[in-house]
Amino acid sequence: MPTHAAFVSIQSYDAMNTPNTPTRGGTASAGFFSSGNYCTTTQTIGACEVATCTTASPPAVSAGAITITGAAQPITLTPAADDTYTTFMATAPLFAGGESITFAAAGADVPAFTASITTPAKATITSPAKPTPQSPYLNINRTLDLTVTWTGGGTGKLQVALNSQSADKRLFCRFDASAHTGTITAAALATLDAGLGGFAMASIAQGEHVAGDWGIDVSAYFNAVWLDNAIVSGPTNFQ
């Protein structure tokens, strides 16, 4: 059983956040920790994980240079002197959905490893409705179930991420993308604090790879969009 945490991740987004202004691009990132993790799951309720998260980076260790192949362009992540990895940023989507992405680490403090994942496709959220400029908050009643519906998404999961204003308490809910619907129960929503917070939705493919004593979360995200093709994220009001 691994006792250390790590992640390697690739992301795409292809949206239109303002009229005639596309928001397109992608990122790749990695982190390997000698102790701790950004988020620790404290409870599972249905399809949701309740997590306590920190904004401080856990102590980092190196897995050497990481090459990423199968994306729209080759990517190499190189550890800095403090063993952290700078996020790679692209101005065009790194995948469209269905590609096989391979992460290969040369090895250092963390043993060398190779892990692959099949990328998800972009999902369009059809419910709940997008907040308006006049009412910019997604209002969520924590005493009622919240149902999310979508089209697209490919294989993998549709993830709904919700956080309280403090940002240290988060809810990650994942549903089969092919179901095109998922319900977050009132019991799960009740774990979040009342008041302001934030939300984001994305299609996600996720797996775990073990290298020595490290459990490595391997993932690919594609940011979901609303019906007008704007990225699905913003502020919430938890009631």
Separation CA 164–CA 25 (nearest Å) = 27
pLDDT, one tens digit per residue, over 33-42 is 987 677 777 8
Section 178-205 average pLDDT: 96
Percent of the chain with pLDDT strictly greater than 90:
81
Separation CA 172–CA 161 (nearest Å) = 5
pLDDT, one tens digit per residue, over 147-170 is 999 999 998 999 999 998 876 788
Section 38-59 average pLDDT: 84
Number of domains in the chain: 1
Strands (E) across 20-145 are located at 21-32, 39-45, 48-53, 66-69, 75-77, 88-90, 100-105, 113-118, 123-127, 138-140
Separation CA 45–CA 25 (nearest Å) = 33
Asked if residues 198 and 97 have their Cβ atoms less than 8 Å apart, the reply is no
Containing structural domain, residue 89: 4-238
What is residue 81's three-state secondary structure?
coil
